Amino acid sequence: MWPSDHPSPSFIIIIIIIIIKNEAIAKRFSISGAQLRVYLHYQPSYYHLHVHFTALSYDAPGCSVERAHLLSDIIDNLECDSQYYQKRTLTFALRADEPLLKKFQEAGRV
């Protein structure tokens, strides 16, 4: 999932910034941080790393387990094993009309 064998200092800083943003969003909207779903999308299900903050009460498109990685899970996984994402195969779903699926089919990977 991540481009190096160990989370880089810059990646750790990004995680810290996300946690701070989570606190700021919770404060701004007067909700508990526990009421927010914080998750990341990353390749291959999306083409670039990006973060979402959504209320648990909102069933956001793309927040399903096939496409999203909860921030809390990422932190736990990296605390247990800094090379977790180098060792783990991530499963993901693609719609039949997605260009990425076509590329996998052309490469004989599906």
Averaged pLDDT score across all residues of the chain: 78
Q: For 40-49, what is the mean pLDDT?
A: 69
Alpha-carbon distance 110 to 96, whole Å? 12
Residue-range domain boundaries for the chain: 9-106
Q: For 69-82, what is the mean pLDDT?
A: 83
| pLDDT reported for residue 17 | 77
- State the catalytic residues: 50
Q: For 6-31, what is the mean pLDDT?
A: 76
Label residue 1 by pLDDT band (50, 70, 90). Answer: very low
User: For the domain bounded by 9-106, which CATH number is listed?
Assistant: 3.30.428.10
Phi/psi-derived region of residue 25, left when phi > 0, alpha when psi is between -120 and 50, beta in every other case: alpha
Q: For 90-96, what is the mean pLDDT?
A: 79
Instruction: Please report which residue ranges of 33-87 form alpha helices under DSSP H.
Output: 71-80, 84-87
Label residue 107 by pLDDT band (50, 70, 90). Answer: very high
Label residue 106 by pLDDT band (50, 70, 90). Answer: very high
What's the whole-model pTM score?
0.62
